[in-house]
Amino acid sequence: MFNRIELLRILCVAAETPSFREAATRLGASPQTVTRAIKDLEDQFGEPLFHRSTRHVQITAFGERLASQAREALAGLDQLFQQHGGKREEELAGRVGIAAPRSVGRRFLLPVLAQIAREHPRIHFDMRLSDQLTDSVEQQIDLGVRIGFIRDRRYIARAVAQIPLLVVGAPELLQRHGAPKSLDDLHQLPTTALIDNNTGRVWPWMFAEGQQIQPANAAFCTDDQENEVEAVLAGIGFGQLPIYLAEPYLRAGRLVPVLQDQAPPPWEMFIYRPQQGPVPPRVRLVHDLLVQHLSDPAFVPQG
């Protein structure tokens, strides 16, 4: 049996995910647990909360309203405990280990951590920048940010942003070579390539309908995405970049998008933490502020 708070927390996670299986992964539970909890809520309210099919679930209008009310109620409960649960300023002290991709950590996490450091100078940060999923035990990671997929059940993950991928080139490159009209054209044009340090191989380019290609004419290879951006800006080749790296240069006219009709579905940005014990107040504070900022399209461009 679930208590009512557990039921509402499960509903809120299920409302943010495309399937009960994904919700279960984020909660560190089984899909059957999520299904039972949603069924319990439906029985209590006498209304269906989700339309179910063999492939996915779709929240109903009533379910959306209930989830919105549940978020407000849970937020109020959290605030109540923060105010009256004996959380003292001395508890907001100590180390917080954070893992993030290089470009995300530099551009988005540091401003948030700087704000926290000003308000809570006894919290100190240990940030590890890597484009790989960092081992939370070995590196003593309390929180992490990742773009793509998190299927490791050792972690509880929350999606905070949608990150489109764009193929872009510098205007002078388009003048020299013209814009690609199809994916096959990319094999004849100079491109950049990003190396996966975990495998030593080049990351494939992703496109609509699950298509992946490996451009055959890489004029520049690197294992650092910021370095790849500079190569694209210099006109060395076309590159496939996340929107948050390309957007400032698109607005300035220094990059031009191509093959927009072949763009893949956006990737998700997640905040994750290991599944372990109660979360210390200092870690909860950092987690909540990162969720707040990274969910804001004005802070992280999302197309």
Structure confidence by residue, pLDDT tens digits, 152-181: 567 788 889 999 999 999 999 999 999 999
Strands, E assignment, 27-70: 50-52, 57-59
Strands, E assignment, the chain: 50-52, 57-59, 94-100, 123-129, 143-148, 155-163, 165-169, 191-194, 205-206, 212-213, 218-222, 239-242, 256-258, 267-274
| Domain covering 165-262, topology | D-Maltodextrin-Binding Protein; domain 2 (3.40.190)
Structure confidence by residue, pLDDT tens digits, 8-34: 889 998 888 888 888 888 777 788 888
Q: What Cα–Cα distance (Å) separates residue 102 from each residue in 127, 143, 147, 248, 261? A: 10, 15, 11, 18, 29
C-alpha angle with apex 240: 176 to 214, nearest 5 degrees?
90
Q: Is pLDDT at 297 greater than 80 in this prediction?
A: yes
CATH placement of domain 91-153+268-294:
3.40.190.10
Is 4-84 a CATH 3.40.50.300 domain?
Answer: no
Backbone angles phi, psi at 37, to 5 degrees: -65, -45
Q: Which two tokens stand for residue 96?
A: 């917080």
Task: For CATH 3.40.190.10, list the domain ranges present in the chain.
Answer: 91-153+268-294, 165-262
pLDDT score for 55: 67
Task: For CATH 1.10.10.10, list the domain ranges present in the chain.
Answer: 4-84
CA separation for the pair 207, 196 (Å, rounded): 18
Residues in the chain: 303
Q: Which two tokens stand for residue 174?
A: 């388009």
* C-beta of residue 295 within 8 angstroms of C-beta of residue 268: no
- The alpha carbon dihedral of 32, 33, 36, 41 has a sign of negative
Average pLDDT, the chain: 87
pLDDT score for 136: 47
